[in-house]
Amino acid sequence: MKEKRLLILGGYGNTGRPLAELLLGESDAKLVIAGRDIRKAQTLAADLNRKYSAERVKGLCVDAADRCFRNRQGLTASFPSSLPFSPL
């Protein structure tokens, strides 16, 4: 079976966090929690990994408004090349 990995942009907010918990509880998907604040993203990722006893969540700094997309390597490195993902 193919690996499932999902990006939740704004993942540490009031919508992203419950969505991440639902996905972790109901699926085997790996998650990338992303937002402008790397500290918040990494803290939530660590909390969720502890809660669900797995290393299924990674936190990244990604700003959807950044037209230069300065963290392109960090985001694309989070998705194996075998997955159909290509940033804009």
Per-residue pLDDT of 33-86, as tens digits, reads: 998 899 999 999 999 999 998 899 999 888 767 655 555 555 666 655 554 544
Per-residue pLDDT of 14-29, as tens digits, reads: 999 999 999 999 999 9
Q: Is residue 88 part of a domain?
A: no
If one counts every other C-beta atom within 10 angstroms of the C-beta of residue 77, the result is 12
- Whole-model pTM? 0.75
Residues of the domain holding 12: 5-77
Helices 16-26 and 38-51: angle between axes, nearest 10 degrees:
30
How would residue 3 be classed by pLDDT, with cut points 50, 70 and 90? Answer: confident
- b/e code 5-41 from CB counts within 10 Å (16+ = b): bebbbbbbeeebbebbbebbeeeeebbbbbbeeeebb
Domain tally, the chain: 1
Domain CATH code at residue 42: 3.40.50.720
